[in-house]
Amino acid sequence: MAGLYVHFPFCAAKCIYCDFYSRVRKDWKPYVEALLQEISVRRNELVKMPGHAGHDVFVPTTLYFGGGTPSLLPTDQLARVAEAAREAFGPPRPSCPAPTDASCPAPTSPSAPT
C-alpha cells in the first residue's frame, strides 16, 4: 500500500501544541504553483519505484493532505492538486474520493469550521 503525502504548510494561526512545519500566511498561490511543478518532476522518480499489490509502477492508494491546515485552501485548488497527482500517477487504487468529500483525509485546525 503506497500513499502520496502533500504538505500544505499554511495555518490561520500557529497552535502552541503543534510541532509540524507551518506558517501563518495567506499567500498560498505561489506554493500551489510550485507544488504542481513538483508533482510533475517527482513523477519521473516515483514511477521507477518497484510496484506494489501486483502493479508494476508506483500507484498511490491514498492521497493525503497534511500540514498546516489544508482545509484553508479553496476546494478548487485542492482539486487542482488532486488532479495533478491523478494525471501524474493514474487513478488511485482503490479510488480515493474527490478532495471535497468529507471522507478524504485532511487535517483541520480547532478553529476551522468542519
Q: Where are the chain's structural domains?
A: 3-89
Q: 64 Cβ partners below 8 Å, 6+ apart?
A: 3, 4, 5, 6, 105, 106
**pLDDT recorded at residue 4:** 85
- Rounded to two decimals, what is the model's pTM? 0.68
Q: Give the model confidence (pLDDT) of 49-82 as tens digits.
A: 665 454 556 677 888 898 889 888 899 999 999 9
Alpha-carbon span 59 to 47, nearest angstrom: 8
3-state class percentages of the chain: helix first, strand second, coil last, to nearest 5: 30, 15, 55
Pairwise CA distance, residues 114 & 45, whole Å: 36
Instruction: Place 101 in a pLDDT band, splitting at 50, 70 and 90.
Output: very low
